[in-house]
Amino acid sequence: MPPRIRVIPAILTDDPAKLAAMARQAEGYAGYVQLDIMDGRFVPSHSVTCQQAAAVFLEIPWEVHLMVEKPEQQLECFKQAGARKVIFHYEATDSAGEVISQARHLGLGVGLAVNPETPVSAVLPLLEVDSVLFLAVHPGFYGARFLPEVLGKIAELKSARPDMEIGIDGGVKENNIKLVAGSGVNDIYVGSAIFLDSQPAEAFRRLQTLANEAV
């Protein structure tokens, strides 16, 4: 039986060689991964590009989290690269509805990411998406401090849209994953607590076990 809550490894790097190594590693223990893409404008940091990501063939299903300006310009590339789903930021565009429509036209799943300071009320009119991803950190860096107040937004969205798939990303570690898992989320995205551990596969399994224990 699949877990009620999924822990999803989130791959973030600016080095194509490390991307390939992290991807091969994750294939050994996870059934699904997320690739984080940053442009140095919407967030301060850079990551690998879509073209570099496309050169790394993933054996397992994956999605992309676009922390970029003008996300619509990257949809076609990531579709061709093999992404199943694209998650883009509400704050990154004035035309979120158009981005959603373009993603649908390409046959991509689509999710909406929300920064910590953005109220749930701002995104309620745009919930013709597959999921909402709440950022529990200010995005762009591995290892940023978890913002527990974001958990209240999960409850707020669940109240308004009980059927919506909800994810949380940022700052989740062994010492807080039970709290996060008990908030009503479906997916918990974890980067540094997996990939910076000396034994990433074991770290992933511990986190999944802890999440399962909370529900």
Of the candidates 210, 156, 140, the one whose C-alpha atom is nearest the C-alpha of residue 178 is 210
Active site annotation includes 197: no
What gap in Å lies between CA 86 and CA 90, rounded to an integer? 13
Is 138 exposed, middle or buried, given 0-12, 13-18 or 19+ CB atoms closer than 10 A?
middle
Catalytic residue among 36, 39, 130, 187: 36
Active site annotation includes 163: no
Catalytic residue among 39, 130, 169, 187: 169
Structural contact between residues 136 and 168, judged by C-beta atoms closer than 8 angstroms:
yes
User: 200-213 vs 16-27: helix axis angle to the nearest 10?
Assistant: 50
Q: Which residues are catalytic?
A: 36, 169
